[in-house]
Structure 1
Amino acid sequence: SALPSVARAVRVRIVALAGVLALAVVALAGSAVVAARPMAERVIQPETRSRDVMLCLDVSGSMTDVDAEVLELFSRLAEDFEGERVGLTIFNSSPVQVFPLTDDYAFVREHLDSIRASFDYIEDVPEFWVGTLNGPGASLVGDGLAACALGFDNPDQERSRSIILATDNEVNGAETVTLEEAGAYAASLGVRVYAIDPVTEGSETGAALKAMAEGTGGRYYGLHDTTTVAGIVEEVHAQDAAVLRGQPRIVKVDAPGAWPVVIAVAAFALVLVGWRMRV
């Protein structure tokens, strides 16, 4: 009577070993498939917002102590934007466009960081500043603001346009365009100006900045106001903007399918069968 029991136990063990072998084959095959990183093609269509924001920075001597702080603020603003195009123009006695409007935020952050680092120069004028000293005078804010207003492309498109102007408005020299005239020109283009002033509020120069900004439909902020970043972002986002779809493009993505689940189930079954065989 013992022989049938032994034969049955042998058959069960053979079946169990066959099951272990099958599970091992399945797990190895699944691992090979996953390791080969099967790919699938997916069509994506990037979206942008029809909002343009031009950062406008005074790099004159009177702003030296605060420009690095302003650029840090610009970086924080860029982090909070989503889909807006951002550009940067700097000025002293003459304006220079550092980069045109773009929605490549990695590119924007890289250039803002590079400019911030350039303020540590000792002798050589930083490359970003070349062209900002092409005339007499310094901190010609009206000329700088007018250049920023000219930095918007596609004038025939319905887009929300804003300038974030950081300056102490300490003009030294004869401007081709005054601050009031530049503000009026920006307003005629439908551009709102948000002024950031590092000087304590209540100064005569600050009052002129505030009047100009509010005349365009924008607002005036102090550099160290706790609501400056949130306020500007909220103001920009409050402006109507349509979602624009870019050109469709094909991207390749990992497509492991159900193999990770199959591998996990096979591994669990192997452990369970192995434990049962030992018992």
Structure 2
Amino acid sequence: METTEIKVEDIDVTGPKLGQGSYGHVSVGTWKGARVAVKSLHEVFLQLYRDDPQRDAILAEFHREMTLLVTLRHPNVLQFLGYVRDDDRPLMITELLHESLENRLEREPRMSEACTHHVLRSVACGLRYLHERAEPIVHRDLASKNVLLSRDGYQVKIADYGLAKAIETQKRTAKKYMYTATFNQGTELYAAPEVFGKAASQPPRDMFAYGVLALETILGFITMPLPRNDEENLVIVPEVERRREDLNQSKGGETTYSF
């Protein structure tokens, strides 16, 4: 299916709000008779004066994200359907799934082993697709709130690519570009240690977050590791020590999971 530029009057955004972030929110809408998810910028940004540099910058990033998402086609990546390019009301339209993994775990903390494996394998496949593109994409905010499931749990898709921008990287002699999603550093509980420094965004950040997501999916709750720094001994606590209790718990009970 080709992505379509949509006129404002063709999309009806009257459904409930599904979530929001620093720059925008997602609501349920209707397009061509089908229920879809519609991402909009917060009104406070749209009400800025037209010559305000902040407004121009935010709109530019919003349009850049649309340009990126239109190229994504994978069963484990949320499908981008269309967009409204009107600067007075820019919108992004994607397919609508039933719920986030975060909501599913709140309702059913202990999913079946088969369901757990299916979710984690699906997310891994989606990440592999993003990271192995000719222009790799680093999500930077992989978390259970950004993994969406269909009602039957069969469809599992990575969502919320934030306001994407390209970072030029060098690999051997070939110049390549790596896209990152979101302005911020992502959700802290999923963040790799290097996120809090000034290291460039790389796929391993997503893989670290995937490990945390795997623990959360297996245990049924988001883990709360020990602090990163042992101030008494002035040392950085290794991740395996910070999360040892959760790692041991993931191997307990009747089922043992291997990482």
Q: Same fold (TM over 0.5)?
A: no
**TM superposition score category, shorter chain reference:** under 0.3
Q: Which has the larger radius of gyration?
A: 1
Q: What's the TM-score once normalised by structure 2's chain length?
A: 0.23
Higher relative contact order structure (alpha carbons within 8 Å, sequence separation ≥ 6):
1
